[in-house]
Amino acid sequence: MDSYDAIVVGARCAGSATAMLLARAGLDVLLVDRTDPTRDTLSTHALMRGGVLQLERWGLLDAIVAAGTPPVGTTTFHYGPPLSATTQVETVEMAAPLYAPRRTVLDGVLLDGARAAGATVRLGVDVTGLLRCDDRVTGVEARVRGGGTLRAHAPLTVGADGARSTMATLVGAGTVRRGRAASAIVYGYFPAPATGYEWFYVPGATAGIIPTTDGLACVWAGMPPAEFAAGRPRGLEVLFDEVFGRAAGVALGERQGPLRGFPGAPAVLRTPTGPGWALVGDAGYFKDPLTAHGITDALRDAELLARSVQGELDYGRTRDHVSRLLFSVAEEIAGYRWDLAEIRALLRAESAAMRPEVRLLRRLDDRGPVGEVAA
């Protein structure tokens, strides 16, 4: 049986970041995934301030930029009823740019970072069970693509395998908090019609334009799940034009690739740790995509867990503390019960809910890189 200091299950952004940071701290890490984690996946792509801070601190931001990811210098909020010329616009200039890399870029850069740090990466590995000693998780059992099995032992096993986490099920992770509201989202890629984040709000619907890699923008439209199920999104172009585009003066070019849909799922904040195990990313905390904050939180939790392993902080307590406010605000936004005055207030509250996370991450700068303890 192979033995490691830590096993990370799931090699997308949360898992690769976790494996990289643990390996940089000197641990012998096994990172596994059942598929290729650099394949494209459904995502809003947007990084918030905390995510950019971390990628820069880890020395990975230059690779994101070099891959053709444009800087985002503004965020513009459009408020107005459908088909109206009276849309109200608020634009926020940013002191430093944000980025929204395509997941083929972001996840690949993080996976390369894990390998460079010394993590052992094995793909085509499907975890089917856990090894235990009494009530403590001590490793994993898995099927290996092409035949064979894998049994690996470690004092820490990390689930970073997404919102439908097999690891969360296997360890029996409890629920700290579960949401009731959800947004259904339709996504597509178009030639970038904007250089900043563009968010659109009308009663009962939302949309966004997020400039990403290769001169494209991720364009999305959101609605309550019941309307999605009833077939409202005849096509994102039609929905966007009817509800948002004419009012905002936005014309979409020819779509690149297919439309993709997400029917919506309530947010869930799971118990983050137990004997011999931990959860990061969507496996531990899935939130509504309207927040465009999932990637940022995944990177945050990877670092919080790595620093917890080093004895610098309590991962579960810290994660819950910085997650609670945004969870509540996101629940209200995803409920689609707001009018335009209310959504403005909710978005201000959302911005305020992100500040403790940024302050926390900035304080971590004072402690030095993961694996070093400040004097």
CB-based burial label for 172 (10 Å; 0-12, 13-18, 19+): exposed
For residue 375, name the pLDDT band (cuts at 50, 70, 90): very low
36: number of Cβ within 10 Å:
12
The residue ranking higher by pLDDT, 362 or 14, is 14
Dihedral of the alpha carbons of 280, 16, 216, 52, in degrees to the nearest 10: 70
Backbone angles phi, psi at 63, to 5 degrees: -70, -35
Amino acid letter at 345?
A
Amino acid letter at 32?
V
Interval 243-255: pLDDT, tens: 666 556 677 788 8
For domain 2-62+103-179+265-365, the CATH superfamily is: FAD/NAD(P)-binding domain (3.50.50.60)
| pLDDT at site 313 | 93
Backbone angles phi, psi at 293, to 5 degrees: -125, 5
Domain coordinates in residue numbering, the chain: 2-62+103-179+265-365, 72-96+181-262
| Mean pLDDT taken over the chain | 89
Rounded percentage of the chain residues whose pLDDT exceeds 90: 65
Does pLDDT of 134 surpass 90? Answer: yes
Q: Please, are residues 136 and 119 in contact by the beta-carbon 8 Å criterion?
A: no
| pLDDT at site 194 | 76
The residue ranking higher by pLDDT, 203 or 373, is 203
What does the DSSP assignment read for 205-245?
EEEEEEE-GGGEEEEEEEE-HHHHHTT--S-HHHHHIIIII
Interval 73-131: pLDDT, tens: 999 888 887 645 455 667 777 668 999 999 999 999 999 999 999 999 999 999 999 99
CA nearest neighbour of 268 among 129, 157, 165: 165
CATH class for the domain made up of 72-96+181-262? alpha beta
CA nearest neighbour of 160 among 65, 279, 241, 62: 279
Does pLDDT of 373 surpass 50? Answer: no
Query: For the sheet containing 175-178, what is the strand order?
Result: 175-178, 268-270, 285-286
